Structure 1
Amino acid sequence: MTATIVASATRLTDGIDPELGLLLPEGFCRTFRVMPYAEVDGQLLVAAADVADPIVERVVDELITRPFVLVRHTVNEINGAIDAVYPPLEENLESPEARRARTQMAQMLTRSGLVTEDQLRTATLEYSRTGDPLGDILVSHGAISEDVLVAALSELHQLQRVGLTDFEPDTDVARALPEALAQELQVVPVARTGTEFLLAVARPLGREDLARVESALGKPVRQLLANRTDLDQLVQRVHAHHYAEIATRLVMETRPEESAHVVVSPTQKAFFVCALIVTVLVGVVWPTKTMIGLVALCSLAYLSVSIYKFRLTLRALGTHLEYDVTDEELADLDERILPIYTILVPLYKEAGIVPRLVRDMNALDYPKTRLDVKLLCEEDDVETIAKIQSMNLPPHFHLVVVPDSLPKTKPKACNYGLQLSKGKYCVIFDAEDRPDPDQLKKAFVTFTRVDRNVACVQAKLNHFNQDQNMLTAWFANEYSMHFELILPAMGASESPIPLGGTSNHFVTSTLRELGAWDPFNVTEDADLGIRLHREGYRTAMIDSTTLEEANSVVPNWIRQRSRWNKGYYQTWLVHMRNPFQLLSQVGLKGFLSFNLTMGSAFVLLLNPIFWALTTLYVFTQAGFIEQLFPGIVFYVASAMLFVGNFIFIYLNVAGSLQRGEFGITGTALLSPLYWGLMSLAAWKGFIQLFTNPFYWEKTEHGLDEEH
């Protein structure tokens, strides 16, 4: 049956079967000018403006599984049919000028042999889903380079090009345009004549944006097209000092009470000194009773922390407290509404892991043209910087070089990168992270569902090398307990959540409003989670996992864990500078939750002391030890010993069972040995709190490359 015969039997103007019309997405129909409209003799009739276009026939064949025939119709007929099935929204319609420019770009690249038919088809399909510029899509997929696209745009728009690779700007000229506007539009003045500015632009500016720039500069401008990556680096060089100052000093200067740049406040020093003096004086007068009181107090704190975690676990066990987004919801998601998403990736001395990082970021199921990946490198890390530069990454990857200054911490680097961020939302990923491919989409959908006061969505963390040795298995058990049980239960009860160090997704504007991360806090994630809660914001957990590399070597693990504990001590000291204010902001339940959560780091300090007392008594039967545990104190301490150890083992077993990691569940039975390592790291962090509070203990990644 020919297309002509079919067309005479059933016509587009006779109407469209609504179910058939929905077989192809709206963006695809409008881009390729096609519309399924009827079924005759087992064949689907698809109206097409150009039935001879092989790309149209091929992509229809990929999307429709039943036999079909392309039937020629006029553009106006097809557009009318599309509007009948998909009532048009102005923001989703491609203007005639934009369609003409897209067609010219495609013809220019294909005729010159720079793009193959398959590459063009893939890019056009993505354009039909997202509406993003065709040239940018081709660059993001590596079909053409940014320089080729700039040359094509130069030809289409009749604009000159400018090379910025070795360009040294006149800072007075370059800073004539306010940083915020230069960053928003990705433009930099590169020269000034008597009558105009020469303006390097990543893409030709529209009339309104051009008027804003000329108003800010006070002169007309002439646009020069530049490579986006080179222009991005130029913006950073011009405004590096400004970004560094904000990254380091913003929280310290605008929220001094919330900054850990002062380890212990004067009021806290006075309190601790007075408490110590009172304890010593009382100890001199009533030495035995004083020691009994201290043992009882420590035992009660120890037991309270254990019971609190146990209670949270019981609430979460066997339930699903996280927000879930189904596969069907993701499949129905209109990619045209997806916002730009910034990914901040702090790197330090990790050149070897960069290729794997790029692979995992490219594996994310999110339009690459809407990704803003910031690779944050310290200025003195020349090896990692050189590795990134040598890879010639597409422009959605941005190398960000953080000027060398103290404190040299991950939060300072993230603060620096946040100022360059373009996304409505942003997320932290570490260099070794492997997030679920659909995590960004799940976070976006969750943000559209939750209350407006939810400023952060936290994904779950676990490890991809949990089977490597006993240490990695313990680490995975602990993560399963923390992210599968405790944090979801805390989120469900609206308690302050100490965020994980990665895979926390933020509303960018809210994060900036709060001053972002404290660069002096070495567990900046936990601190930020508490600050969010104090300001009335909330954190939601989502059912999506990021796999990390568990430290498999004890010294490396100790360095990481001691930093975490030091940060917990910092966070407790910062937020307890004014306990009554904290109580009024988070309520009694939140106040207790905060202290019991942060208190877990202090409890770890007690382990060696109680273990030493127990061991000494077993071998010596020392009378003075027996005197420390009279009556009720003995029972509390005994409960602490047995209940505390049982709870710790139970939590780790429950976490792995909740996640379904049955292969490592047995290792949880040896968790007390792991607890000993945790106590060792806690003491190291506690000592560093006073000797080197802002030192960032670097841990090595990429030790398990075979995974």
Structure 2
Amino acid sequence: MGPLTGAVNIVVAVLHFIWLFSAAVIYPVFFYYIVLTIAGLRYNSKFKEPAIPSELPSITILIPARNEAVVIRDTLLAMANLDYPKDKLEVLLLDDGSTDDTVRIAEEVAKEYPFIRVVRVEGGGRGKSYVLNYGLRLARGEVIAVYDADNRPEPGALKGLVAMLSDETPAVTGKVRTINWKGNILTRFICMEYLYFQLAGQSGKSKLYKTAVLPGTNFVIKKDLLEELGGWDEEALAEDLEMSFRIIAMGKRIAYNPLAVTWEQEPESWRVWFRQRTRWAAGNVYTVKEHIKRFREIPGWGLRFDLLLTLMVYYLLAIAVIVADVAFVALLVTFGNVTWFTGLILSFVYVAFLLEIFAGLYDGKIRSIGCWLLAPLMYYTYSQIWIFISLAGLWEAGKAKKVWYKTPRTAV
């Protein structure tokens, strides 16, 4: 055996060790997400639109905005078109120091609809949570709703959310769809990712554990609960997940209505998308660090496990991709001379990924053949970048000063 052959064998042995060790941790998670996917399909197929209460609560919609001139008119008009009694509706456009025409456009719309108010946030530039807390202090409604500045909720969305509020479920969230999913290959990838996350992470979780998690938009929450919680954590970059953890730790649940839909714009630039997801990954790390000691307060071991996976999803995905990549490299280095078990597991990862993405497309009623054909490519492109997002998220989480990076918008 020559020196080169011996070196190759050592490399292969190391790669196999790394792969086997990681696979023992990661692949049970893959199986779990298959279970979540099946549970999500069952939840959605049996879900019935909740009955609208005869007496609806007063509600304040908070819309944080910073340089949103491109989208803000359509967003406010969508709020005006909500099927909700206008005498019980208040919309606060919370301007966080915009330097474009956001305020001028918002004030033009507000003149036509007296339930819309434009509020200039004092001491702004400190992040979304600060802006939301500022609006919370001004809110008159019994219930608080949150929408991002690019959102266009469907007319019945707000009623659908409010209808599921109760003492046990003081917060309710709905589905988020991608309005510009046909924009380019990136927005198609994001659309597929969102559809699957909501199928497994919202519908699946709701089926198995009777709770979902709050996204950053399209949700309602009782104002008295928010005040009891002390509002949003202004240090959190992923304020939605951080708030979800505290609600569930109280023994409350977050309901999910997949028929209460809002449409939002997603990044069309890879650079913008990378920065956005890095911020989210860093926010998840913050939530783990802040609340790791409180996991015992989460009711049930299954839900504790699921929430930990949710908080670590970016890193688990990165590890899973690395594991598959290592197996693939081992396959190349040994010129295909790997065990049948290695080949089987490598095939399982790819097939499971495809089936989960296809399930999301099917559930989301996406009939575009382009998306279905892109799904196989998604694993080898979009998913690979999560390795670098996870590393960047860890770096961002370690910084002393956290910065709220506002996602730039484009006309749709």
TM-score, normalised to structure 2, is: 0.86
1:556 and 1:365, CA in 2 relative to 1: closer, same or farther beyond 3 A? same
Q: Counterpart of 1:661? A: 366
8 Å contact 1:565–1:601 — kept in the other structure?
A: yes
Determine if the alignment matches structure 1 residue 699 to structure 2 residue 407.
Answer: yes
1:399 and 1:666, CA in 2 relative to 1: closer, same or farther beyond 3 A? same
Q: Counterpart of 2:79? A: 361
Distance in 2 (CA, whole Å) between partners of 1:501 and 1:445 is 20
Q: Give matches, 1:509-528, under 5 Å.
A: 509-528=224-243
Distance in 2 (CA, whole Å) between partners of 1:291 and 1:616 is 8
Q: Counterpart of 1:461? A: 176
Q: Counterpart of 1:533? A: 248
Match of 2:199 among 476, 484, 489: 484
Structure of larger gyration radius = 1
Match of 2:303 among 583, 590, 596: 590
- How big is the shift at 1:684? 2.0
Q: Counterpart of 1:94? A: none
8 Å contact 2:201–2:212 — kept in the other structure?
A: no
Distance in 2 (CA, whole Å) between partners of 1:575 and 1:392 is 40
- How big is the shift at 1:485? 3.9
Deviation digits for residues 662-701 of structure 1 (CA, Å, limit 9, x no counterpart): 2133322322022123333222222211236622222112
Match of 1:545 among 240, 244, 261: 261
Determine if the alignment matches structure 1 residue 410 to structure 2 residue 140.
Answer: no
Deviation digits for residues 75-114 of structure 1 (CA, Å, limit 9, x no counterpart): xxxxxxxxxxxxxxxxxxxxxxxxxxxxxxxxxxxxxxxx
Identity %: 23
Q: Counterpart of 1:400? A: 119
Deviation digits for residues 625-684 of structure 1 (CA, Å, limit 9, x no counterpart): x9xx9x9xx95x666533333222211110110121121333223220221233332222
Q: Counterpart of 1:302? A: 26
- How big is the shift at 1:296? 4.2
Determine if the alignment matches structure 1 residue 575 to structure 2 residue 291.
Answer: yes
Secondary structure of residue in 1 paired with 2:398: helix
Q: Give matches, 1:246-285, under 5 Å.
A: none
Match of 1:676 among 371, 384, 395: 384
Distance in 2 (CA, whole Å) between partners of 1:322 and 1:511 is 31
* Count of aligned residue pairs for this structure pair: 395
Query: 1:385 corresponds to which letter in structure 2?
Result: V
Distance in 1 (CA, whole Å) between partners of 2:102 and 2:400 is 26
Deviation digits for residues 574-601 of structure 1 (CA, Å, limit 9, x no counterpart): 221x1xx422542211221122222321
Determine if the alignment matches structure 1 residue 311 to structure 2 residue 27.
Answer: no
Q: Structure with the greater relative contact order (CA < 8 A, sep ≥ 6): 1 or 2?
A: 2
Gaps of 5+ in 2: 1-11
1:441 and 1:405, CA in 2 relative to 1: closer, same or farther beyond 3 A? closer
Distance in 1 (CA, whole Å) between partners of 2:230 and 2:45 is 30
Distance in 1 (CA, whole Å) between partners of 2:401 and 2:24 is 29
Secondary structure of residue in 2 paired with 1:339: coil
8 Å contact 2:43–2:204 — kept in the other structure?
A: no
Distance in 2 (CA, whole Å) between partners of 1:615 and 1:665 is 24
Secondary structure of residue in 1 paired with 2:209: coil
8 Å contact 2:16–2:330 — kept in the other structure?
A: no
Deviation digits for residues 351-379 of structure 1 (CA, Å, limit 9, x no counterpart): 22221122111111112222111111113
8 Å contact 1:323–1:541 — kept in the other structure?
A: no
Distance in 2 (CA, whole Å) between partners of 1:290 and 1:678 is 23
Distance in 1 (CA, whole Å) between partners of 2:140 and 2:46 is 28
8 Å contact 1:349–1:384 — kept in the other structure?
A: yes
Q: Counterpart of 1:325? A: 49
Query: 1:586 corresponds to which letter in structure 2?
Result: P
Query: 1:421 corresponds to which letter in structure 2?
Result: A
Secondary structure of residue in 2 paired with 1:351: coil
Q: Counterpart of 1:260? A: none
Distance in 1 (CA, whole Å) between partners of 2:144 and 2:326 is 49
Distance in 2 (CA, whole Å) between partners of 1:693 and 1:616 is 39
RMSD after superposition:
2.9
Distance in 2 (CA, whole Å) between partners of 1:601 and 1:668 is 19
Query: 2:355 corresponds to which letter in structure 1?
Result: Y
8 Å contact 1:556–1:699 — kept in the other structure?
A: yes
Distance in 2 (CA, whole Å) between partners of 1:292 and 1:575 is 35
Distance in 2 (CA, whole Å) between partners of 1:655 and 1:573 is 31
Distance in 1 (CA, whole Å) between partners of 2:333 and 2:401 is 39
- How big is the shift at 1:621? 4.3
Distance in 2 (CA, whole Å) between partners of 1:565 and 1:301 is 20
8 Å contact 1:475–1:550 — kept in the other structure?
A: yes
Secondary structure of residue in 1 paired with 2:403: coil
Distance in 1 (CA, whole Å) between partners of 2:21 and 2:249 is 28
Q: Counterpart of 2:156? A: 438
